[in-house]
Structure 1
Amino acid sequence: MWRFRRRGLLATGSAVLAELTLPLRALSQSIGRAGSHEGDKTVTSPLVRLRLMETSDLHMFVYAWDYYRAREDNSVGLVRVASLIRAARAEARNSLLFDNGDIVQGNPLGDYLALPGRMKKTGGHPMFRAMSQLGYDAATFGNHEFNYGLPFLDEALRSADFPFVCANAEHPDGTPLVPRSVVLDRNVADETGQIHRLRVGVIGFLPPQIVTWDAMHLTGRVRTTDIVEAARQYVPELRTRCDLLVALCHSGISAAPRQGNEENAALYLAEVPGIDVVFTGHAHQVFPGPDYEGLPGVDAKAGTLAGKPAVMPGFWGSHLGVIDLKLRREVSGWTLEGFHSEVRPIYMRESGNVMPLAQDDALTAAVALPAHKATIAWMAQPVGATSMPLNTYFTFLQPDPCLALVNAAQIGYTRPILAHSDAASLPILSAAAPFNAGGMSPDAFVDIPAGPLTMRDLANIYTFANTISVVRCTGAEVKEWLERSAIIFNRIVPGLAAPQKLLAPGLPAYNFDVIAGVTYAIDVTQPPRYTPDGVLVAPDAHRIADLRFNGKPVDPKQSFAVVTNNYRAGGGGHFPGTGSDHMVLTAPDGNRDAVIRYVAGQKIVNPSVAPVWRFAKPPLATTVFIEVPAAASHVVHNDTLHRLGDGTNDLVRYALTLA
């Protein structure tokens, strides 16, 4: 059993606000009213204003610091959110603070602390110590809490002076990993200063897919259940012990028809009776706000899911989520008169620059400083060298040397291991996707000149703490895998005079897998065959053409061993050919570790930029464009790309003519 100690929108930077007056329905399932009458005398029920605050997906960004470029980053950091937290507390008489998971992993500081003995040297886990100092009231787990294994998480949690709750993950014997819920017994002051007792129930949920995404750490140790089913099982009993019920849901928002075991189940969770407030996350989006406009059951302006107040505060400390509740104390219980939701950003973009809207909180900054400095030094260690520049500016237009390096390293790591397995006879392919290619923020790209390669450089190329996995796929499944990858492109109309935007909006770069070992063409004039959820929607569409292995068309029935990471192998991203039934190998080493070993062994790398993939030629010449930072100009060294002009958010458009 893990231990814990208890204590008694980006483009403009403007906050998104919402206020709604709800029917006077008691939170404890009774009906109340704003006042009562005794003869001719009206007795007004006390009004309590309660502020609930949320962070989510902090991913170890304690500081406003970019470890990959060794410079300040005004768009991230708990030290900046901490200033917003203190300001928000000063505005409210009563407040509670929660975190929604994905805390311990996500940047080099997290990786450094996961090295043997490092956490002990830094006096415990600095993120949890910083959160304890800030006075968090409760938190739940995200999927990335398990990336370093259960013993690491157990040790880290000893630094958390606040409870963790999780209702849908448990040991094989059915005992919960941590308490499924907790009731916070708080004294709150009404508008006149009178004190009342308020019991706040808190229950937590995480994506049930953790058992496949982190199978190496969790198989035989942890089992999970569907988020909604767990809520239906445990919310009713919790409801009897509390006046207000808050759900911490490390899960995104989807309005697709419910199938069960969803990764993004926050909307369906909000429909469960007895839940009053939903804090959501995991998707790295902002809610309320335009990210979720138009979804049934979602009010992206008022900030409601199934009519209940909800927020999602971005990622890496970009926002603080705030929900203000108006609670009326009745004889029959508490009633909810209304609420006000907002997300408060720590920065705004102005003329291409990131302008801070919050300053470092000194107390938070002091907690983790030794580990922060040690991580910076660790990241500066040399590993090897590259004979050519490594960058991801044009990864969607032409061969990417960074992906070529990762794929070469993955194959080099896996080949000798598979040689002594049942998969020894299978041809080996390798799948890799770009992480820093403009997806997380407009200026998040890899740009490494020829010369020395440090730990910082390689961590920039391979950001996440994934572990190597191998799946067995048929040739037909490899083709469908690539079809799912190719949905990142818009459908292009051949022959239009005006250049057309190549990339579809809102799709993450880390789902653009390039599979080395085969060659293929991508026909962007075809509609996408799959949805982002992996649903086949255009069975007659085929973007992948001329798929070849060793120069010959791929036999749909031929089997391959495809090296990838644990997230993809376990079904992350909904790619055909993945999942537990396809698993051949779950390795103990990380993908980034394989890259580090490969570079150290080679001493000087020269990643092949042979065309693994290419665009199929349309019937008429057609120009497509992408948007990248102006800094990309120094790596354009061929005649196929040309600058088209200025784009959005101070980016520059580069065009490629398909002919």
Structure 2
Amino acid sequence: MPILQQARGGWAKRIATSPLPFARSARSLTVNEKQIGANMTLPREIATERQISGDTKVELRVLATTDLHAHLLPFDYFTDRGSPVLGLARLSSLIASHRAAAANCLLFDNGDTFQGTPLADAALAEIVPRGDMHPMVSAMNGIGFDAATLGNHDFDFGIPYLTDTLAEARFPIVSANCENADGSDFVPRHVMLERDMVDKAGRKRTLRIGVTGCLPPQVAAWNKPHLDGALKFDDMMQTVQGQVSVLRGKGADLVIVLAHTGLGSHVAEHRAENAARAIASLDGVDAVIAGHTHRTFPGDDAAPGDGTPIVQPGAFGSHLGLIDLELTDSGADGWQVRTRACAAVPLGSGAAEVGAHGYFPDFPELVADMDRAHKATRAFVSRPLGQTAVPLETYFSTLAPCHATQVVAAAQFAAAAPLIRADETLSGRPILSAVSPFKAGGRAGPSHFTDIPPGPLMLRHAADLYIYPNMLSVLRIDANGIREWLERSASVYRQIDPNGPARQFLIDHDFAPYNFDRLAGLRYEIDVTQPPRTNAEGDVIFDTPGRIRNLRFADDRPVLPEDEALVITNSYRAAGGGHMHAAGAAEEVLSAPFAVRDAVATHMAEADQPLHPQVEPTWSLSPLGGVEVIFETGPGAAQHEDRIAALGLTGPNAPVDNATPGYDAYSLRL
């Protein structure tokens, strides 16, 4: 029985043996409607300016968050340390200041809100008693969001849990392309917000703002264990276009789309995963909030532009989306909309504090409740599991196999082995374990690494090694599929020219490290002189010779075209998540009723001695005769001198031209 049982669709019920209630009351979070959005009290100097102006224009500020992933407080529960550039709590002050500077304001959230940190796991494990509000919902109610949409990860803990979570929201949550199996609405497909605005002359004008939302239809496959047969997800472009027509027919003066999707191209294919640019091109859309890919758009110096404004405010509360619109009442033709500003405003940095105190200065009624949530979560994730004799870090995981991913590989092997043995039809095939470093820099930045020191292992460490609640899955795959899987992973590397300029950069930081799978149980080389098979996102496949060389099984037997193998992986990857098309095309032969991180925690807890995994030499970079490359990693890597020496790295070096900000640069000769 796994240590971390599923609880209301999630993990950790057995560990959560002593409930630590957050003890929040819904009444304590009641917010005067005059403090929210467009109805907030206006600064005196702004009101005076309007009284003397004869202009008939209305200026509206749209603020947005996206991909908060349960980053509520400025605290990293994985490391048990403050983090000054994370969280909705700190972002709330930026929200308040930008509201105060605007005549009229609306605030939206763009999804992937309720999953992603141990705070969400604590709520899921019934540390928060059933019926109490999710801490993120409590905070969003108090801050005064006007509307929100759903992201794909909001379904990670199952439909009943999500339904309970949404029920406490005092703001509408919409989604155009999500519906129940019978075709009925799962949440409303749109909402019409009627807000009293103040125009430039100081007069009250009532505007009807139509809001709809959408998310990638691939979520049906990514979260198949929870959603199969219960929910359907249609094409985003088609459904959004339909809802925009409905809203315009109902008299919407303005239509805003909360699009939990990346930018994509200007022309989206049917059921595209990333389509924000294409959605912005739809007739009748006045503004788009993008998300999903954790990118920031536009840049700091971007001009408003002529097209429909799009803003994508990063992730985890790193940025606040801001779109300033100017609406002119043209009489019979309705309101005409012009973009005055569009920016992703960075949160900034500062000294971190452990508790919630000081991080809701504009919403003092939230401080005590959020501090209780914080303390309860810290107690929850500090529960002991075992010991490790070696550091479990991911600073070098894209350069060589490591202890951190080996622990996950071993846990997957141990959890899947009895299931495979029980099915006679699966016998006789090599068994591989696909693992990736979930926190290894990339576009998440130079602080996004796992760094667990030798010593006690706690619940937070299991979550640090495996941050998603994906279910364990076993695939049957042929030799060609194995090779294509590895080619997709090898796209993390830039192409290196052996005769090119000195000190070429090795890692493409646009590539998400959680898509860098190594298949334990294999041996292979990666030739970085060849171009990658895919782009960083994996949505473009190039016709190239490929990078995988000398592919063989652990017993040194070559992988032949007629070979088949079983690959232990997770439900997201089994559905082709991360544009891992080879995994999506393979046959799923087993789907376990528990999450992979349950298996990781069980592996830690059941070890009879401190973990000291023997790291498999799964892969290596093909030698290039001494060509020097630059390997960039997080500043914390400098503390691992033995690892630096063993890998043949020198540095960290002085900053070099075109280096990635915040990363340390090491030299390596291939």
Aligned residue number for residue 149 of structure 1: 158
User: Does the residue aligned with 2:129 lie in a helix, a strand or coil?
Assistant: helix
- Contact 2:520 2:616 (C-alpha < 8 Å) held by counterparts: no
Which residue among 592, 596, 602 is the counterpart of 2:597? 592
Which residue among 399, 402, 405 is the counterpart of 2:401? 399
Greater mean alpha carbon deviation, residues 331-340 or residues 200-209:
331-340
Give the direction of change, closer, same or farther, for the CA distance of 1:363–1:580 in structure 2 (3 Å limit): farther
- Using the alignment, how far apart are the partners of 2:512 and 2:635 within structure 1? 21
TM-superposed deviation, 1:541: 1.6
- Contact 1:6 1:162 (C-alpha < 8 Å) held by counterparts: no
TM-superposed deviation, 1:446: 1.9
Aligned residue number for residue 376 of structure 2: 374
- Contact 2:472 2:594 (C-alpha < 8 Å) held by counterparts: yes
- Contact 1:79 1:364 (C-alpha < 8 Å) held by counterparts: no
TM-superposed deviation, 1:537: 4.5
Verify: 1:568 aligned to 2:580, yes or no. no
Give the direction of change, closer, same or farther, for the CA distance of 1:225–1:197 in structure 2 (3 Å limit): same
Q: Which amino acid counterpart does residue 528 of structure 1 have in structure 2?
A: P
- Contact 1:168 1:230 (C-alpha < 8 Å) held by counterparts: yes
TM-superposed deviation, 1:538: 4.1
TM-superposed deviation, 1:430: 1.0
- Contact 1:288 1:303 (C-alpha < 8 Å) held by counterparts: no
- Using the alignment, how far apart are the partners of 2:435 and 2:523 within structure 1? 14
- Contact 1:111 1:465 (C-alpha < 8 Å) held by counterparts: no
Aligned residue number for residue 544 of structure 1: 548
- Contact 1:309 1:339 (C-alpha < 8 Å) held by counterparts: no
- Contact 1:325 1:336 (C-alpha < 8 Å) held by counterparts: yes
- Using the alignment, how far apart are the partners of 2:534 and 2:196 within structure 1? 52
TM-superposed deviation, 1:61: 0.8
- Using the alignment, how far apart are the partners of 2:558 and 2:535 within structure 1? 26
Verify: 1:556 aligned to 2:558, yes or no. no
- Contact 1:172 1:221 (C-alpha < 8 Å) held by counterparts: yes
- Using the alignment, how far apart are the partners of 1:542 and 1:645 within structure 2? 31
Which residue among 73, 82, 92 is the counterpart of 1:72? 82
TM-superposed deviation, 1:462: 1.4
Greater mean alpha carbon deviation, residues 78-87 or residues 361-370:
361-370
TM-superposed deviation, 1:519: 0.7
Greater mean alpha carbon deviation, residues 398-407 or residues 538-547:
538-547
- Using the alignment, how far apart are the partners of 1:157 and 1:569 within structure 2? 28
Aligned residue number for residue 437 of structure 1: 440
TM-superposed deviation, 1:535: 5.4
Q: Which amino acid counterpart does residue 650 of structure 2 have in structure 1?
A: H
Aligned residue number for residue 519 of structure 1: 523
Aligned residue number for residue 213 of structure 2: 204
Aligned residue number for residue 265 of structure 2: 255
User: Does the residue aligned with 2:184 lie in a helix, a strand or coil?
Assistant: coil
Verify: 1:605 aligned to 2:611, yes or no. yes
- Using the alignment, how far apart are the partners of 1:7 and 1:232 within structure 2? 35
- Contact 1:122 1:371 (C-alpha < 8 Å) held by counterparts: no
Aligned residue number for residue 386 of structure 2: 384
TM-superposed deviation, 1:258: 2.8
TM-superposed deviation, 1:44: 6.5
- Using the alignment, how far apart are the partners of 1:478 and 1:526 within structure 2? 19
Q: Which amino acid counterpart does residue 668 of structure 2 have in structure 1?
A: L
Aligned residue number for residue 115 of structure 2: 105
Aligned residue number for residue 414 of structure 2: 412
Which residue among 633, 646, 652 is the counterpart of 2:654? 646
Higher strand share: 1
Aligned residue number for residue 317 of structure 1: 317
Q: Which amino acid counterpart does residue 594 of structure 1 have in structure 2?
A: A
Greater mean alpha carbon deviation, residues 147-156 or residues 538-547:
538-547
Q: In the TM superposition, what whole-angstrom CA distance separates every residue of 1:438-496 from its partner, at most 9, and x where no partner exists?
A: 23221222222222211122222212222212222111111110001001101112255
Q: In the TM superposition, what whole-angstrom CA distance separates every residue of 1:250-303 from its partner, at most 9, and x where no partner exists?
A: 00001275321111110111111111111111111111117xxxxxxxxx8235
- Contact 1:388 1:450 (C-alpha < 8 Å) held by counterparts: yes
User: Does the residue aligned with 2:174 lie in a helix, a strand or coil?
Assistant: coil
TM-superposed deviation, 1:363: 3.8
Return the TM-score normalized by structure 1: 0.87
Aligned residue number for residue 426 of structure 1: 429
Aligned-pair identity in percent equals: 39
TM-superposed deviation, 1:82: 0.7
Q: In the TM superposition, what whole-angstrom CA distance separates every residue of 1:376-401 from its partner, at most 9, and x where no partner exists?
A: 01111111111222111111222211
Q: In the TM superposition, what whole-angstrom CA distance separates every residue of 1:3-38 from its partner, at most 9, and x where no partner exists?
A: xx9997xxxxxxxxxxxxxxxxxxxxxxxxxxxxxx
Verify: 1:472 aligned to 2:476, yes or no. yes
- Using the alignment, how far apart are the partners of 1:303 and 1:474 within structure 2? 50
- Contact 1:213 1:572 (C-alpha < 8 Å) held by counterparts: yes
Greater mean alpha carbon deviation, residues 226-235 or residues 60-69:
226-235
Aligned residue number for residue 616 of structure 1: 622
Q: Which amino acid counterpart does residue 626 of structure 1 have in structure 2?
A: F
Q: Which amino acid counterpart does residue 430 of structure 2 have in structure 1?
A: P
Q: Which amino acid counterpart does residue 254 of structure 2 have in structure 1?
A: L
- Contact 2:478 2:565 (C-alpha < 8 Å) held by counterparts: yes
- Using the alignment, how far apart are the partners of 1:318 and 1:338 within structure 2? 23
- Contact 1:488 1:504 (C-alpha < 8 Å) held by counterparts: yes
- Contact 1:198 1:243 (C-alpha < 8 Å) held by counterparts: yes
Aligned residue number for residue 341 of structure 1: 342
TM-superposed deviation, 1:85: 1.2
How large is the RMSD of aligned CA atoms in angstroms?
2.3
TM-superposed deviation, 1:122: 8.3
- Using the alignment, how far apart are the partners of 1:154 and 1:536 within structure 2? 36
TM-superposed deviation, 1:625: 2.2
TM-superposed deviation, 1:360: 4.2
- Contact 1:79 1:365 (C-alpha < 8 Å) held by counterparts: no
Give the direction of change, closer, same or farther, for the CA distance of 1:281–1:303 in structure 2 (3 Å limit): farther
User: Does the residue aligned with 2:142 lie in a helix, a strand or coil?
Assistant: helix
- Contact 1:287 1:303 (C-alpha < 8 Å) held by counterparts: no
- Contact 1:127 1:368 (C-alpha < 8 Å) held by counterparts: no
- Contact 1:212 1:580 (C-alpha < 8 Å) held by counterparts: no
Q: Which amino acid counterpart does residue 208 of structure 2 have in structure 1?
A: R
In structure 1, the gaps of 5 or more residues are 9-42, 291-299, 351-357
- Using the alignment, how far apart are the partners of 1:535 and 1:283 within structure 2? 13
- Contact 1:63 1:365 (C-alpha < 8 Å) held by counterparts: no
- Using the alignment, how far apart are the partners of 2:652 and 2:99 within structure 1? 48
Verify: 1:95 aligned to 2:105, yes or no. yes
User: Does the residue aligned with 1:105 lie in a helix, a strand or coil?
Assistant: coil
Which residue among 127, 130, 144 is the counterpart of 2:139? 130
Q: In the TM superposition, what whole-angstrom CA distance separates every residue of 1:546-594 from its partner, at most 9, and x where no partner exists?
A: 1111211102222212111222111111113222763222222111111
Greater mean alpha carbon deviation, residues 330-339 or residues 628-637:
628-637
Verify: 1:657 aligned to 2:665, yes or no. no
Q: In the TM superposition, what whole-angstrom CA distance separates every residue of 1:604-638 from its partner, at most 9, and x where no partner exists?
A: 221122311011122x3212221234442332324
Greater mean alpha carbon deviation, residues 457-466 or residues 649-658:
649-658
TM-superposed deviation, 1:596: 0.5
TM-superposed deviation, 1:183: 0.3
- Using the alignment, how far apart are the partners of 2:635 and 2:302 within structure 1? 34
Verify: 1:83 aligned to 2:93, yes or no. yes
User: Does the residue aligned with 2:410 lie in a helix, a strand or coil?
Assistant: helix
